[in-house]
Structure 1
Amino acid sequence: MILRIFLFLVINFAALGIGGYFTGKGVPSEWYASLNKAPWTPPGWVFGAAWTSIMICFAIYMAFAVKIVRNLRVLIILFSLQWVLNVLWNPIFFYFHHVATGLVIITALTILIALFCFRYWSNLKAKSALILPYLIWMIIATSLNAYILWNN
């Protein structure tokens, strides 16, 4: 179990690292600072703390899931798609400034995380609570992206 958790931690934090690399200056950038942001936008430090917590919980969730879920192939495909969408959003939004495309990506990622939550709930039961922070954060992040699109 510890080895599976470690493996998913490495994979999850690799996604954050790659996405972060393409974010550039990200939140403190002049472009982002000049945007009209939602009143519920958290301070910059919250993003790092939230993603760290989310990826730790998600690694533990996936470590349980690969052991319990019957169709491992589907689980890995969904996980891989989640990974790609997670990595893609940062450069699309922060580097290329494609806010609308970012909204499409983040909406797809939110739906995918909800799919994880509900599809595997019966297999993972209470362990599914480990993915709830990811789903909640994605709903918030999607709303922030949508606000920026509609108000800039």
Structure 2
Amino acid sequence: MDWVLFLIFLAACGAAATTGAVFPPGDWYKRLDKPSWTPPDWLFPVAWTLLYLSLAYVGARIATQEGAAYALAFWAMQIAFNTLWTPIFFGLRKIGPALIVIAGLWIAVLGLVWSLWPLDTLAFWLTVPYLIWVSYAAALNADIWRRNRGFVPVAR
């Protein structure tokens, strides 16, 4: 593997991850009505760390492969939507618009998985957990939106 490529893709993932530090959940999120199947707070950084490492590896792995244009385009699309979601959900506290962003993220991840299948089996299987996690996160976002449509966010 080309370690410089891995570090470039890891930097993109790191930029997305930084939004979690810049826009932490805080008291507002704690006060929301959430479903019983909401994961514990400690799971989010663990899951995202593993997913970002996998995504960086997948990006570096496919970057030099012939026929990887669609996979790389979907990789770029997913990291853009991924980076956008946290500031909208936690920063602006706009649960509905965040649901639209996560729908775009889900489409991008599905496109990435779809484009990896004929290209690289290992990259495909390393990306499937990401699709599962984003599907779960989208369902969680949707249910939180449904439960809290009349909730007034606290002042920043």
Q: TM-score, normalised by structure 2?
A: 0.87
**DSSP 3-state at the match of 2:133:** helix
Matched, 1:145 2:141: yes
Query: Relative contact order: is structure 1 or structure 2 higher (C-alpha 8 Å, sep ≥ 6)?
Result: 1
Q: Aligned partners of 1:54 and 1:106: how far apart in 2?
A: 16
Cα separation, 2, equivalents of 1:90 and 1:77 = 21
Using the TM superposition, give the Cα deviation of residue 127 of structure 1 relative to its aligned residue in structure 2, in angstroms: 2.7
Q: Indicate the residue corresponding to 2:103 in structure 1.
A: 107
| TM-score where L is the length of structure 1 | 0.89
Q: How does 1:2-151 map to 2 (within 5 A)?
A: 2-17=3-18, 19-23=19-23, 25-26=24-25, 29-72=26-69, 74-151=70-147
Answer 1 or 2: which has greater helix percent: 1
Identity of aligned residues (%): 31
Q: Which runs of 5+ in 2 are unaligned?
A: 149-156
Name the structure 1 match of 2:151.
none
Q: 5+ unaligned residues in a row in structure 1: which ranges?
A: none
Separation of aligned partners in 1, 2:21 and 2:123: 31
Partner SS for 2:37: coil
Deviant stretches of 4+, over 3 Å = 74-77
Q: Which range moved further: 49-58 or 115-124?
A: 115-124
